[in-house]
Amino acid sequence: MDTSSLEYDYVIVGGGSAGCVLAHRLSADPEIRVLLLEAGPDREPFWVRTPAGVGNVFFDERINWKFSTEPESRLDGRRLYWPRGKVMGGSSAINGMVYVRGFDADYDHWQALGNEGWSWRDVLPYFQRSETSDSGGSTYRGGAGPLRVSFPHKQHPTTDAFVQAGTTIDIPRNPDIAGATQEGVGYLQHTIGGGMRSSTARAYLAPVRSRPNLSVAGESTAARIDVVNGRATGVEFFRAGTRQVARARREVLVCAGAIGSPQLLMLSGIGAPAQLQAHGLPVVQALPGVGANLQDHLAMNAGYEVRAGASMNAALSGWRKFVHGAGYLLNRRGPLAVGASHAVAFVRSDPAVAVPDIQLSFRPLSFAFDSKNQLRMHPFPGVQFASAMLRPRSRGHIALRSADPHAPPAIHANYLSDADDERVMIATLRWIRRIAAAKPLGDLVVREDLPGAQVESDEEVMAFVRRNSQTLYHPAGTCSMGRGPDAVVDARLRVHGVQGLRVVDASVMPTIVSGNTNAPTIMIAEKASDLILEDARR
C-alpha cells in the first residue's frame, strides 16, 4: 500500500488491543477514512489462534518485541523479560487470555484524581459493549459485543478443589469474577470463542476489513509524529525499507502500548526536555511525565507436586499431547482450547486493606521454559499458583536509548523500590500456602516444589522473590491521564499542549488496575472512540 500521497481522517499507530478497537469503531462511518499501522505482521499464525499455544509465541521474535528491563537493583540485578505483541492484535494475540476488569474502586480512584468520566459507573457500559459473554447480557455483562468471553467447557477436578479450598478458609465464593464484584474465589473466564483466541485482530478487525474507508498496513514501524504549529499532522513510518508519511486531517491516535507510546512521543519531541536534548531531539512540547509513572504487577510463582491424576501434565506430555492436538483440530475442544490459568482468588494482604490487593491465579498444570526457551511440562504431576501484587507503590520509567526508532527503549521497572511492596509479596506466599493446605486441595498435595519448605522466614521469602519473581506482563501508566505537571493526556486522552494527538492504551492509566490489563485496555479504546467522534462533531 502506497501511502505517500494519501490523507486520512485518523491515523492509528499500533494494531494492538486498543488500535484494532478504534479501527473498528471509527471506520463504522463510511465518510471517515482510517489508516491502521502495525509494526508486526498482519497475519495470525496457528499458535496465536490456539489458546494453548501461548508458550509457542512467548519467545517468537517474529511476532514478539522481546523486551527486557534494565538490571533491577532490588531483584539481584536481574533483567526481567517483557514479552509484548508485535503482530496485528498486539499483546491480545500472545497473552494468557484472562478476562478480568479490575475493581470498581480502581476507576472511582481515577475520577477522584481529576479524570472526569472515568468512574466505574462511566466505564461499565464500555466493558459491556465490548463483549459477548457466554453467560449472556446482564446488568454487568455484555451479550452482543465483538469480543468473545467464555468459561472452559469443562473444569478440571483439581481446579474445583482450589475453589473449594478457598471457601474452606473463608474466601467468599464468587460465581462471576467479571460481574458485580471481583472479590473472592472463582473460575476464570477467557477471551476465547469457539475454541480459538479472541484477539482484537480477530474480534474487532477481521469483521470490518472489507470496509473501503479502512486501510490496514502491517510491518509498518512508526518513526515520529509530525507536529506543525502545535498540531499533529501525520505519522512518518518505515515500510518495506522506505520512509513514508501518512497525513491525518483530524487526529493521530497513538496506541503503541505502555512501552511504545512514550517512546514514539519522545522520538517526536514530546517529553522531558533534558532527555530529548540528550539524544539530539528538538523539544516540540515539554511534558516531563512522558515515560514516567511506569507500573507493573510483579509476580511470584509457586508450584506443588500433587497426586497422580490430579494434574494435566501427563495429558500435555509425550504421545498424549499429539492425541489432544488431533482432537483440537477436529472439534476445537480439549486441553488446547483453554488458557493456562483456570481459577483465581482476590484477597487482602492485611485485613485493614480496603480492597483486595493480591491476585492468586491457579493452574492445574505446571511447566517451565528450558535453556532453549521451549516450554516443558514438569515430569511429575504438578500445579502452579501465578500471583500478582495488584497495586504496587513502586514506580519506574521508560527512557530513550537512542534517537533511532528501531532501537528498543530502556525499561526501568524499579520493582520493590517501595518497602510496602515487600510486605505484600511476603503476604502473597502466606496466602498461597494457606490455600494449598486447605481441604480438599491440601489432600491432593504431595510437596511444595517451589519455593520449597526450606523458605519460611520473611527474609527467606524476600530472597526467593529477588531471585525468582517475574513480571505478570501488565505495564501501564507511562502516558498518564490527569491534570498535574506530570500528566501526559487529559480526561479525553488528548496530549497536553498538542492538538490533534491522543494516546489510547494502557499507558494512560494513572494507576494500574487491580487485575489483568487487557480487558481494561479494550474498554479504554471503546470509550475513546466515543470521545473522538464527539469531539469531531463539535
Which residue numbers are catalytic?
474
Q: Distance between alpha carbon 255 and the CA centroid of its chain, in Å?
A: 13
In whole angstroms, what is the distance from residue 98 CA to residue 361 CA? Answer: 10
DSSP character at residue 79:
P
Output the furthest CA–CA distance in the chain (Å, rounded). Answer: 69
Cα–Cα distance, 56 to 321 (Å, whole number): 14
Question: Any known ligand binding at 377?
Answer: no
Between the alpha carbon of residue 379 and those of residues 86, 312, 313, the distances in Å are 32, 11, 8
Phi, psi torsion values for 445, nearest 5 degrees: -80, 130
> In 3-state terms, what secondary structure has residue 167?
helix
Q: Compute the radius of gyration of the chain from its Cα atoms.
A: 22
Q: Is 344 annotated as a binding residue?
A: no
Residues 6+ apart with CB under 8 A from 4: 244, 245
End-to-end CA distance of the chain: 32
97 labelled binding-site residue: yes
Residue 372 burial by CB count (10 A; 0-12/13-18/19+): exposed, middle or buried?
exposed
Helix boundaries (H) for 99-236: 104-112, 120-130, 157-168, 200
Q: Determine the distance from the C-alpha atom of residue 271 to the mean position of all C-alpha atoms in its chain, rounded to a whole number.
A: 24
149: annotated binding-site residue? no
Cα separation, 510 vs 506, in Å, equals 9
Segments of 200-282 assigned E as strands = 214-217, 220-228, 231-239, 242-254, 270-271
For residues 432 and 426, the answer to whether their CB atoms sit within 8 Å is: no
Phi, psi of 382 (to 5 degrees): -140, 160
Query: For residue 419, what is the DSSP state?
Result: H
Write the DSSP symbol of residue 337: G
Spacing of C-alpha 139 from chain mean position: 25
Give 396-414 as a 3 state SS string. Answer: EEEECCCCCCCCCCEEECC
Q: Which amino acid is at 423?
A: R
The Cβ of residue 147 has, within 10 Å, a number of other Cβ atoms equal to: 26
> Strand, coil or helix: what is 305?
strand
Tell me how far CA of residue 259 lies from CA of 13, 125, 408, 474, 506, in angstroms.
Answer: 13, 28, 9, 11, 10
Contacting residues for 538 by C-beta, under 8 A, at least 6 apart: none
Cell 505446571 sits on residue: 366
96 labelled binding-site residue:
yes
Q: How many helices (H) and strands (E) does the chain have?
A: 14, 27
What are the binding residues?
87, 95-98
What are the binding residues for FAD?
87, 95-98
